[in-house]
Amino acid sequence: MEPISIGITPTPPQMSPRDQELLEVARDLEVSFLAEMLKSAGMGKARDSFGGGAGEEQFTSLLVREHAQAVVDSGGIGLAQSLFEALKEREDGNI
């Protein structure tokens, strides 16, 4: 059984180099958005007991961003696809 993925799939080989760049930008924006949402949801907050101290505080943002990247790599929430299509339309002059 294959995992269900929503959103955008990995870069198809038939895409132009410029479209691949736009797709990468869209995926980066989705990662940033998801990282902020995870942070707002409380992911990475220091625990009251047995916390990691200053090291944990310094690396929390990196961990949250990696979790967001994993979500996008597994299909994301579809935001990257919408952003890609909007960027493509803007570049093609269709807006």
With respect to residue 9, please indicate whether it lies within any of the assigned structural domains.
no
| Tally of domains within the chain | 1
Report residue 77 as tokens: 């929430």
Please give the C-alpha separations between residue 9 and each of 13, 20, 42, 91, in angstroms, as whole numbers: 11, 12, 28, 21
Q: What are phi and psi of 55, to 5 degrees?
A: -65, -40
pLDDT digits (tens, 9 = 90+) for 13-52: 688 899 999 999 999 999 999 999 999 998 877 666 556 6
Residue 42 in any domain: the answer is: no
Residue 3 domain flag? no
Residue 91 lies inside a defined structural domain of this protein: yes
H and E: helices and strands count for the chain = 3, 0
pTM score, whole prediction: 0.74
Q: Which pLDDT score is estimated for 69?
A: 96
Task: Report if residue 14 sits inside a domain.
Answer: no
pLDDT at residue 91 tops 90? no
- Could you tell me if residue 86 is inside a domain? yes
Decide if 7 is inside a domain.
no
Residue 45 maps to a domain:
no
The domain containing residue 26 runs over which residues? 20-37+58-95
